[in-house]
Amino acid sequence: MPAAAVCAGTKTQRQSETANMSESYRAFHQRSIESPEAFWSEQAAMIDWQTAPTRIMDADTPPFVRWFVGGKTNLCHNAIDRHLADRADQPALIHVSTETGTERTFTFRQLHEEVQRTAACLLELGVTKGDRVLIYMPMIPEAAFAMLACARIGAIHCVVFGGFASGALASRIDDATPKVIVSSDAGSRGGKVTAYKPLLDEAIRLSTHKPDAVLLADRGLAPMALVPGRDHLAADMAARVKSTEVACTWLDATDVSYTIYTSGTTGRPKGVQRDVGGYAVALAASMRHIFDGRAGDTYFSTSDIGWVVGHSYIIYGPLLAGMATLMYEGLPTQGMDGQPDGAIWWRLVEKYKVTVMFSAPTAVRVLKKQDPALLKKHDLSSLRALFLAGEPLDEPTARWISDGLGVPIIDNYWQTESGWPIITLANGVEHMATKFGSPGVPMYGYKVKVVHEATGEELTAPGEKGVVVIEGPTPPGFMQTVWNDDARFVNTYWKSIPGRMAYSTFDWGIRDADGYFYILGRTDDVINVAGHRLGTREIEECISGHAQVAEVAVVGVADALKGQVAMAFAVPKDAGALTDAGRARSLEGEVMKRVNDELGAVARPSRVMFVAALPKTRSGKLLRRAIQAVCERRDPGDLSTMDDPASLESIRRQLDL
Ligand code: ATP
Ligand code: MG
């Protein structure tokens, strides 16, 4: 039975499905844990190797793991060159921008040419293997060319989310110390153009490290003043370089492919370092076992190349699998003519026959504010599944999109650090039942446990709450270390649980009797009300079930009497609750009653306040720590990745009323 039907079924039905259907995935997972070398050596056959590895796994110096030691390969070769024999004229990169009203398709052959051209420019600028190239780009094809060109010549790319302010960019320039920066004149969001070049110039002025050169794609959106001797227009440079054939540099599997920063939700972002061979194998395996991505099909991830999802599932994963990847620039609710269009993504699914789609709960919540009929306007018969990741997927949101699209909605739990899903359903191995509120079960290669955060003791009873940890050796694709900071890697991630050497996800979770995990929020976000420990997510989930609530954040705020109390900030569907004090009061009362009835009085927030928007990172994650700091009149800390500062201000104002 397809998971969609299971999704729509009752809880009892779903549970009996689980019991019958999960056996073979369980065996698959068990083999990956008991015989990791045999398991991953099989997976490694999914990619091309120039030299086969001599040792599959070296876990001699925990927590560090080296995968496919002695092997030589190249991510760009596997993403492009290896497909030329069979699918040179098949679409590889489809770029759609509702910001500029443009659509372009590059076949594998054309992508091969473009990437070599960019690689030739980087070589001309003196970039060699191991050099860092920082990419500060909007979602345009040139950004993909630059990433793949780095992979081709063995340069380490460091993509920084386009549009980050100069200070955030400067600290990343100092951390990555790039030889070259690749950028563009401007990005655009909702029709508003942001000139990148002045932001970049200011960042380079602020940084201690200075790049040798800046390579710029000119989209014609904003004027650029070039710094002589340092700045180069990509088009001019491409015309100047003589050879447009650049062979792949064969890299050690354990060489560094890229660094990427975490979202900065809980504090100063960490520079995650990833390898070449392990990552290629992990992604190829995930395309088969998790996403069921088939060569020739189209994959559409709505993420941004600035995030790990963009690296793994806009650029590398789909291309490794021989799929076309759809790269989208624009809001989820904007048409090709720049006018509002809540059905644009579904229009693209129909037009490009998208089979696998990947997005985030935050995007679905944006769509939820639109007319549900928009989900039915287009032919979505090509679509096999929608994967969602990045944040807890609350049941009302999952149901809404599941009912609307009629395809399985698969929650994915993972982190920048892991590079690919940690907990989800491996439907390519076996169809397992979806349970609302749970991303699923640990993926092959991952030994996931729930432990007591103070004693490190494993909690095995169903429903016992603890910290979700991963025991080493971590699988291929997982971070190698923190860039330039092995000590931070070991101390931050592996030594936070007393008495246990395990990687902490810093997320709080439980496991049910069937082995399904539920993520209850971040360990920082646990609220302790008079000795009762509550995950913010549980309260948020309950509040978001109220028909009038579009979105909600719950934080724990210090309280002299109870230790902490919960406070809720909600975006109402009816904007009237924002301006009409009477309506706000009655909605607040209803929300409190709901929490009281469903979770009990301890969980009831002391206040429910209504705001037009919640503070989020640029990747759409709720910045609860910032809300909490404002509520407690503390300094909110590093806000370099915050999207809309006005939203935090409006919370501050509400509190002062
Ligand atoms: P930082 O580590 O800098 O504080 P971050 O943790 O938000 O930022 P990411 O690596 O982008 O950076 O996000 C990973 C986190 O997102 C997870 O640890 C978890 O808290 C949350 N998350 C991701 N997917 C899910 C999911 N499906 N369900 C619940 N939470 C999720
Ligand atoms: Mg994190």
Q: Is 391 in the pocket of ligand 1 (CB under 6 A)?
A: yes
Q: What is the mean pLDDT of residues 476-502?
A: 96
Task: Please choose from 261, 365, 409, 416 the residue to mutate so as to test ligand 1's pocket, defined by most ligand atoms within 8 A of CB.
Answer: 416
Name 83's Cβ contacts closer than 8 Å, sequence gap at least 6.
90, 92, 108, 295, 319, 322
Note the pLDDT of residue 523.
86
Note the pLDDT of residue 615.
95
Ligand found nearest the CA of 423 = 1
Do residues 263 and 617 make contact, with C-beta atoms less than 8 angstroms apart?
yes
Burial 459-490 (b: 16+ CB within 10 A, else e): beeeeebbbbbbbbbbbbbbbbbbbeeeeebb
Q: What is the mean pLDDT of residues 394-416?
A: 93
49, pLDDT greater than 70: yes
Q: How far is the CA of 278 from the centre of ligand 2 (A)?
A: 21
Q: What is the mean pLDDT of residues 123-144?
A: 98
pTM: 0.89
Sorted by where each starts, the structural domains of the chain and their CATH numbers stand as 75-249+293-341 (3.40.50.12780), 530-656 (3.30.300.30)
Spatial separation of the C-alpha atoms in residues 66 and 55, rounded to whole Å: 9
28, pLDDT greater than 60: yes
List the beta bridge partners of residue 368.
none
List the beta bridge partners of residue 178.
none
418, pLDDT greater than 50: yes
390 pLDDT tier (thresholds 50, 70, 90): very high
Q: Is 389 in the pocket of ligand 1 (CB under 6 A)?
A: yes
Name 97's Cβ contacts closer than 8 Å, sequence gap at least 6.
103, 139, 140, 188, 328, 329, 330
How does DSSP classify residue 458?
B
Note the pLDDT of residue 7.
31
Q: What is the pLDDT of residues 282-330, one digit of tens each?
A: 999 999 999 999 999 999 999 999 999 999 999 999 999 999 999 999 9
Do residues 253 and 277 make contact, with C-beta atoms less than 8 angstroms apart?
yes
462 in helix, strand or coil? coil
Interface confidence (ipTM) of the complex: 0.99
Note the pLDDT of residue 9.
31
Note the pLDDT of residue 23.
58
657 pLDDT tier (thresholds 50, 70, 90): low
- Burial of 24: CB neighbours in 10 Å, binned 0-12, 13-18, 19+: exposed
Q: How far is the CA of 290 from the centre of ligand 1 (A)?
A: 19
244, pLDDT greater than 90: no
H or E element, residue 411: strand 409-412
Task: Please choose from 263, 307, 488 the residue to mutate so as to test ligand 1's pocket, defined by most ligand atoms within 8 A of CB.
Answer: 263
Q: Whose CA is nearest to atom 29 of ligand 1?
A: 392
Quote the radius of gyration of the chain (alpha carbons, Å): 24
Q: Is 219 in the pocket of ligand 1 (CB under 6 A)?
A: no
17, pLDDT greater than 50: no
13, pLDDT greater than 50: no
Tell me the average pLDDT of the chain.
92
